[in-house]
A and B are shown apart, each in its own frame.
Chain A
Amino acid sequence: MPACFQFGKTAMLRLTNLSKTYRTGDKALNDVSFEVHKGQIIGLIGPSGAGKSTLIRCINRLVEPTGGEVRLGEVNLVTLGKSDLRRQRRRIGMIFQEYALVERLSVMENVLSGRLGYVPFWRSWLRRFEGHDIQRAYELLDRVGLLQHADKRADALSGGQRQRVGIARALMQDPDLLLVDEPTASLDPKTSRQIMRLLTEICSERGLPAIVNIHDVPLAQHFMQRIIGLRAGTVVFDGVAEALDETVLTEIYGAEDWNALRPETPAEPARAPVEVPA
């Protein structure tokens, strides 16, 4: 374990008054501020349309924020130009709800695509990645238990396997931060727990901070140390998982018999409109 793993000391990511108003006038985020420290895994919960997806997409600017600051280490991401932004995006690994693998590429190519920000175009075009990258890709595939599947096409894998490839792709970036958008929304309960366990293990192995956008409250409480509750674009709860009681849940989601909700999973999460920067 690296010595720099000082829990609660170094702020890896600091959001200050982050706001996003869509062109339609919908206010998705309203002055969101919090810090993420090294090695910390944060569960981001909230009802559909609360702005969870928008929030994590504003951090790596897949969605452009309309106000506030995102500081990754010392760099303010909001003001960066295109190529500087790309350089910073390499430091932020992202894992998606429906895996978002490039379906028609092989598993290996999907994992190697995590290096795209580091290699020149011609290398990626000719699939001539450097030896140590390939070695690392194999190592990560082994870590997520898919070494045998390296040459399969991504669309030949099951949901849980695809999400593992998604995790390997994010780790391939050598990230300082993981953004995880509903990693289990398309998976069955058992696979969901396996994926969450794998994620938390990997994060603590590497002292990697992560923001996990998740709609399943029990799952979040079980795997996360810290929970942030979002409602209508505003942070309404920020604390340890144990503090998440009925009053807090009502504050986040509105009135409901919370004991009755426990065994089942909440409704379909909303997806933020996807903006693909040109």
Chain B
Amino acid sequence: MSTPAHIPPVWMRRTSRQSLLLWLGWLALVALFVWCWQVMTQSTIWAFVLDAPDQAADIGSRMLPPEWGYLPELMLPLWDTLNIATLGTVGGVIMAVPVAFLAARNTTPSATFLRPVALFIIVASRSINSLIWALLLVAIIGPGLLAGIIAIALRSIGFVGKLLYEAIEETDARQIEAITATGAGPAQVLTYGIVPQIMPSFWGISVFRWDINIRESTILGLVGAGGLGLKMNASLAVLAWDQITVILLLILGTVVLSEALSAKLRKAII
């Protein structure tokens, strides 16, 4: 080699050690992927998979034209769905507020015991989808709106609780200090020092969750928790795909409307 030893012959973005590690990382990911793929597809019946385009064409042809005559029948379930979402949000928010105050570092009465409990409630509620909550509740208290409302509420606790406790931790400590210095009691410090500061986040989070809950409540009926999903389940059972088209379009419309409404409300709050 004629190049001087101190100038590397090729310019490289990374040192050779770094790029080796990077390549090994990618290789590991690819290997893991291939292995997972094989495990997952072990029991797959490929004949069904190959058959899928035909099935899709079949379903597609049955879905069209939509059975518009079905629409009036869907209005009551739609009303139920909206109620599940709204009442569920209200219930969830009411339960989430104390949990959030217990979970926030600056308001928790006991950092060693109550805070971990509150954090566990939040994680548990967040990890479990509302459909699973609904599945459980339908088994426990029977099918109907109530199961759906409670399912939505239970799922909302974690979401609202997490965002709210983060908002509480971000409050301005000086404002709280000033209220404390007047000789106010703990409840007064809460209502004068902390609550005004978190009010905008509180409304924003609640409206945001309501929007998500509208989406989720449309399908809760699949497991018997009332609303549009119930109708979908019934149509699926008799393979009435043209009715399903109508239901899907209705869900789509509702979701779009609620999203627009919630965006508007949140803008008004901030």
Contact = CB atoms under 8 A, between A and B. Distances in A.
Interface stretch (B19-27, B54-62, B172-180): B172-180
Nearest to A172: B182
Contact of B177 (A124, A173, A276): A276
Interface in A140-156: none
B188 A116 contact: yes
Given A98-B174, A102-B196, A89 B182 contact: yes
B173 A89 contact: no
A126 B172 CA distance: 23
A54 B177 CA distance: 13
Interface of B: 106-107, 109, 172-188, 191-193, 196-197, 199-200
A158 to B, nearest CB: 18
Given A104-B196, A276-B173, A62 B188 contact: no
Contacts, number: 96
Given A102-B196, A102-B197, A125-B191, A113 B183 contact: no
B175 A124 contact: no
Interface residues of A, number: 38
Interface in A158-176: 166, 169, 173
A274 B174 contact: yes
Contacts of A86: 183-185
Interface string A36-52: 00000000000000000
A235 B213 CA distance: 62
B178 A90 contact: no
Contact of B199 (A87, A92, A104): A104
Contact of B176 (A89, A121, A276): A276
A105 B182 contact: no
B192 A90 contact: no
A4 to B, nearest CB: 23
A38 B135 CA distance: 71
Contacts of B174: 96, 98, 100, 274
